Structure 1
Amino acid sequence: MEAFLQTYGYWAILIGTFLEGETILVLAGLAAHQGYMTLEGVILCAFAGSLCGDQMFFFLGRRHSDFLLRRRPAWRGKLERAKRLADRFQTPLILGFRFLYGLRAVMPFAFGISGVPVLRFVWLNAIGAGIWAVVVGVAAYLFGSALEQVLGDLRHYERMLFILVAAVGATVWIIYLYRRNRRRKSGDTRFDVKEKT
């Protein structure tokens, strides 16, 4: 595990946080606590991955929103809700959307559509990515430290601990997908925007 994490760990953080990655960052923070990676390296990779991923979605929203919404019509309701929030609470949302589970993937896209100036989004997105990477990375590191106080040497439990964190992350994601599909099948329109008459 040590050799694998030292060889591929930083790349895994970069790619995982590019796609969306609280679970990846929590695992990485725990791995940093165990000495497999440095906390600074974990935070830097998480910052870079998150920043680049969200910038990509911002520019996709800016340039290709019609094409993407035709391919992903399920995004339309959530995107309309996100766009309303983006128009109303622009600065705090750009800084904090990474902490909003379920809206995180669609918010940068919504900011791209809403006409937020590019430089404004880039700067605020960079600050938000830095805050997110530090808060989640350090929290996971400290969680590892607290567990060590309770359990003693975590090397005896680390595989089980990593599997448990990954399983919790996967379970949350599956529940989210299940609930979204159920809403869609039942015709729940809570996230749809009614046309003004």
Structure 2
Amino acid sequence: MSIEALIAQFGLPAVALGAALEGETVVLSGGLIAHQGLLPLHGVMAAAAIGSFVADQVFFLLGRRFRTHRLVRKVTERPTFSRVLRLLERYPTGFILAFRFLYGFRTISPIAIGTSAVPARRFVLLNALAAVVWGIVIGGIGYSFGGAVELAFGHLRRHGHLALAIAALVAVATAITLLVRARLRRSIEAEDPNIP
């Protein structure tokens, strides 16, 4: 079953679960579906924020509570983990607010933050703020992209051309993600040229 079919069938709970497990693609699809009038946009944004917040809190708590467990230690051995910790040490507030927007850092970051000295209360507050912003931005991009597709192809029927819109949206999101990732990598390499 496709992402848009799951969202159309299960509505906002599917958006929340998708935001927790997968992330941007589900929320972008939710925004597109909201543009079709099948879901309320504010509901998509709220569901995305809630799903993202809950998932990141769970990963944070896993890192905090089980930092010596073999599965968490396995995560800490990844090269990305040390990069996350370096960025967290250098820009603690900014990194917590931004990690969900950075490709490749989304799942590992809350675990890394959980193993750090960042107080749980501070993480909860910053994570809540970042999740709300993320839900609004990503849901809004999906909704706006629905408008662009409608301008390009005429008024979309409730289920017509949705697959084309999703495919184009995924292509654009992938291109943006690769660009952001390349810039972040250059920034990290500028700080430490010995990074592999």
TM over 0.5: yes
Aligned residue number for residue 159 of structure 1: 163
Over the matched positions of the two proteins, sequence identity in percent amounts to 41
1:68-83 equivalences in 2 (<5 Å): 68-70=71-73, 72=74, 75-83=77-85
Distance 1:77 1:3 in 2: 37
1:99-138 equivalences in 2 (<5 Å): 99-138=101-140
Residue 64 of structure 1 pairs with residue 66 of structure 2: yes
Aligned residue number for residue 9 of structure 1: 11
Distance 1:28 1:139 in 2: 10
What code does the residue aligned with 1:49 have?
G
Which ranges of structure 1 fall in alignment gaps of 5 or more residues?
177-188, 192-197
How far did 1:190 drift? 3.3
What code does the residue aligned with 1:30 have?
L
How far did 1:20 drift? 3.4
What is the Cα-based RMSD across aligned positions, in Å?
A: 2.8
Which ranges of structure 2 fall in alignment gaps of 5 or more residues?
182-193
Contact kept in structure 2, 1:5 and 1:36, CA below 8 Å: no
Aligned residue number for residue 142 of structure 1: 144
Residue in structure 2 matching 1:18, options 20, 31, 40: 20
TM-score by length of 1: 0.78
What code does the residue aligned with 1:63 have?
R
Aligned residue number for residue 57 of structure 2: 55
Aligned residue number for residue 183 of structure 1: none
What code does the residue aligned with 1:97 have?
F
How far did 1:83 drift? 1.0
Distance 1:89 1:153, change over 3 A: same
Q: Deviations over 1:39-97 (max 9, x none)?
A: 01101110000000000111111111221234x35853211111111111110111111
Distance 1:5 1:73, change over 3 A: closer
What code does the residue aligned with 1:133 have?
G
How far did 1:123 drift? 0.4
Distance 2:49 2:176 in 1: 23
TM-score by length of 2: 0.78
- Alignment length, in residue pairs? 176
Aligned residue number for residue 186 of structure 1: none
How far did 1:148 drift? 0.8
What code does the residue aligned with 1:29 have?
G
Contact kept in structure 1, 2:8 and 2:33, CA below 8 Å: no
What code does the residue aligned with 2:52 have?
S
